[in-house]
Structure 1
Amino acid sequence: MDTAAPQEAAPDRALESGFAAGDEGCAEAVYRRWRPLVQGLARRALGDAREAEDVTQQVFLAAWRGRAGYRPGHGGMGAWLTGITRHKVADALEARGRQARVARATALGAGGRPAGVQAPAEHALDRVLVLGELARLPVAQRRVLCLAFYADLSQSQIAERTGLPLGTVKSHMRRALCALRRSLDPLRPPVPR
């Protein structure tokens, strides 16, 4: 009979309890204990050591902020942190994809023009119209859209930054986009068929 596993589990349980209770010493110990696991998962998924380090920091910050919701289960702290890591890796990959799309669009310029070539007056007018319609949105919806499109944050990151529940962020985003679509569609010329 292996007696090492129950002896190892007892200190982990004490660490987890202290962490959930807000003990900063336990938070440091949790970080030292599970950082290699989290960073290894992030590095394998992302293929970039620096990005994996950033994700690792985000995981432990999210865990600390969400510690009140931690409930020990089958896998304990390791399984909980692995779940947070999967979400943070997905956010990083999503941001990487957005950055690649922005870089491609910037390289091409608007309408296939090379970057740096001045856009026609119609494009400037479109930007002014969009900014005007953004200003008409309720503050919460405008803030969510601006964080998504100007700060390039995912919905999960917006929820963390604003303190809003993720469902509320999604609702604000959907309502704001629908309002913009309704207000800007009449301005769009009909598409020839």
Structure 2
Amino acid sequence: MVGGTAVLEEAPEDSVEALAVRFRAGHEEALGEVYDRWSALVHTYALRALADTHDAEDVTQQVFVAAWRSRETMTPSPSTFPAWLLGIARHKIADARAARARDVRRIEAVVAATPSDEGVGAEDVMEPDRIVVRQAVDEMAEPRRTIMLLAFWQDLTHADIAASTGLPLGTVKSHLRRGLTQLHRTLEEVRHGSR
């Protein structure tokens, strides 16, 4: 017999190639099997690249959604899934890093445009953003609030913040990332709400 059906019938049910054929054909249970088999690999890869559990979880989910949506591009073979999924993961990790960089630039722009408390004028275009950012940071739980203040108002490096707070460097980076994401969302909500 010619075609995907013959491969499916000839290959053992638990073989990677048979799973790839079923996945590519759109069998939803195959998606679950693929996730069960390779989600730990993708998550570990993303975690090592991004050093943030939340981001790694997001990337892992995005990888499997993208794989399902583009399953017709996959060529079934015994080594297909790990390599194919890690290729998708590389792109999603690059997207996550780009999003981080955008968030940092946005928040730095707001902080950089923040005039000192003296001489703050009503004509200052960035004043609403400055107020929103400062209020959002002030409302953050500790130690995130302190970490954000040290990073953006005291201009300390990640290593300096870790040393001054006694927190591990990874924890500092994680708080900064989540704080930036929170600030970005808050700014977006305020801007959309004022339209």
> Normalising by structure 1, what TM-score?
0.53
Contact 2:59 2:92 (8 Å CA) reproduced: yes
Aligned to 1:113: 115
Aligned 8 A contact 2:67 2:85 in 1: yes
Q: Secondary structure at 1:51's aligned position in 2?
A: helix
Who is 1:50 aligned against? Answer: 54
**Higher helix share goes to which structure?**
1
* Post-superposition offset of 1:119: 6.4
1:120 alignment partner AA = E
Alignment match, 1:96: 100
* Letter matched to residue 69 of structure 1: T
Per-residue Cα deviation, 1:113-165 (whole angstroms, up to 9, x for no partner): 259x55637x59xxxxxxxxxxxxxxxxxxxxxxxxx99xxxxxxxxxxxxxx
Report the equivalent of 2:174.
Answer: none
User: 8 Å contact 2:16–2:77 — kept in the other structure?
Assistant: no
Paired position in structure 1 for 2:63: 59
The Cα shift of 1:89 comes to: 0.2
Structure 2 portions without partners, runs of 5+:
1-10, 127-183, 186-195
The 1:9–1:22 alpha-carbon spacing in structure 2 relative to 1, beyond 3 Å, is closer
- Does the 8 Å contact 2:12/2:18 carry over to 1? no
2:100 and 2:32 mapped to 1: Cα distance?
30
Aligned pair count?
116
The aligned residue for residue 31 of structure 1 is: 35
TM-superposed CA distance for 1:72, in Å, is 3.1
| Structure 2 CA distance for aligned equivalents of residues 72 and 92 of structure 1 | 28
How has the CA–CA distance of structure 1 residues 56 and 103 changed in structure 2, closer, same or farther, with 3 Å as cutoff? same
In the aligned structure 1, how far is the partner of 2:31 from the partner of 2:112?
47
**Is this contact kept in 1: 2:17–2:78, CA < 8 A?**
no
- Contact between 1:108 and 1:114, CA under 8 Å: does it hold in 2? no
What's the CA shift for 1:100? 0.7
Q: 1:73 to 1:14 in 2, by over 3 A?
A: closer
1:1-193 equivalences under 5 Å are: 11-72=15-76, 75-109=79-113, 113-114=115-116, 117=120, 120=123
Q: Deviations over 1:68-111 (max 9, x none)?
A: 111135731110000000000000001001101111111122xx
Higher RCO by CA contacts (8 Å cutoff, separation 6 or greater): 2
Change (3 A) 1:104 1:119: farther
